[in-house]
Amino acid sequence: METKLNQIVIAAETAIKGAQSIHELMNLKSEYIGKKSEVMNVMKTLGSLSPEERPAVGKIINIAKQKIEALIDEKENDLKEKEYLKTLQDSKLDMGMPGYAIQYGSLHPLTIVWREIEDIFISMGFDIAEGYDIEDEFHNFDALNTPEDHPSRNLADTFYIKDDVLLRTQTSTVQIRTMEKYQPPIKIISPGRCYRNDRPDASHSPAFHQVEALVVDENITFQDLRDTLNTFVKKMFGSHMKSRFRPHFFPFTEPSAEIDISCVNCGGKGCAICKNSGWLEMGGAGMVDPNVLNKLGIDAEKYSGFAFGLGIDRITILKYNIPGLRILYENDIRFLKQFTFNN
């Protein structure tokens, strides 16, 4: 019987080694050690043996069965490994093919810069104040100390809706409305769209965007104005940027100044954009005229303030090196696409 079992084991070994698939292997498993296999048939004869013989014979049968089981397990692992390697092989693909195209649009560059300006000022503790595009003459001119006969009030400069209703020419109107409504401390910027009766060209547009800042509180000084502007310029254009003030005249502020910043193109060395001066004009600034405060019911002895205004369109074309304003309002997708990942 031992010989018979040995023969079975040898036959099983040959068959198992030759198996090509898991399926085939499982068939062999039932053939050699399954319920109806020869090994199991031998096992069934155990009952006819004497109790003394049984353990020794049983042991021999078990050893044969275990041998076959071990051979099957080993083969099974081999086959699984082969299958695994094959799936690796099959999964090879051309990773150069494009990934799913998630099309992202873009914000308009003016919006991008607009938001950046807002966020810089928000981080400096400013609130955002918004107002009307269509304003009355009082908030656009009178309250800002603009003389009755000032040329900016002309039809040639300002769009009118009615005699005393117009399209705001600056967002200072929002500052006036804020001061009408709130007592100091006031710390706002008012970004928004403004209008002037200019024919569109590379540097003019009848509608444009401006941000004005207003701070009114106790102990606000010219130093605060300069520091705030400097901080803004550095955060907006880089820490190497400088700003400087040139005396100027605005009816709304006293003292008044025009703001220059280092040329964003050459960094101050001088180039065509800055006409070799190293500086670019950025906007106007000054300490709020005490008359303006008093007229709005804010005690100009107790409080002082500063204000400045900057052109968002101008900052945008400087920042992105865009040649002129016109393209900003063409809304050409090929232009807009360039700003896709810039917000």
Q: Report which DSSP code applies to 160.
A: B
Is 71 a binding residue for Zn ion by CB under 5 A? The answer is no
- Per the structure block, which two tokens stand in for 106? 């873009």
> For the purposes of burial, counting CB atoms within 10 Å of the CB of 211, is it exposed (0-12), middle (13-18) or buried (19 or more)?
buried
If the CB atoms of residues 128 and 266 are measured against another protein, the closer one turns out to be 128
Choosing from 87, 90, 100, 297, the residue that interacts with another protein (CB under 8 A) is: 100
The item of another protein, Zn ion, none sharing an interface with residue 266, based on CB under 5 to 8 Å by kind, is Zn ion
CA distance 1 to 57: 9
With CB under 5 to 8 Å by kind, the binding choice for 272 among Zn ion, another protein, none is none
- Of 271, 300, 322, 327, which lies in the binding site for Zn ion, with binding defined by CB under 5 A? 271
242 is an interface residue for Zn ion by CB under 5 A: no
DSSP string, 227-254: HHHHHHHHHHH-TT--EEEEEE--TTEE
Cα diameter, the chain = 133
Q: Which of residues 202-261 bind another protein (CB under 8 A)?
A: 205-207
Dihedral sign computed on CA atoms, order 334, 336, 339, 340: negative
Q: From 39-47, 56-64, 103-111, 237-245, give the range in contact with another protein by CB under 8 A.
A: 103-111
Nearest distance from residue 287's CB to another protein, in Å? 20
Contacts (Cβ under 8 Å, ≥6 apart) of 108: 328, 331, 336, 339
- Comparing CA positions, the residue from 209, 203, 277 lying closest to residue 242 is 277
184 binds another protein (CB under 8 A): yes
What minimum distance in Å lies between the beta carbon of 310 and another protein? 18
Residues that bind another protein (CB under 8 A): 97-98, 100-108, 110-111, 115, 125, 127-130, 132-136, 155, 159-162, 165, 167, 178, 182-188, 193, 195, 197, 199, 205-207, 328-334, 336-337, 343
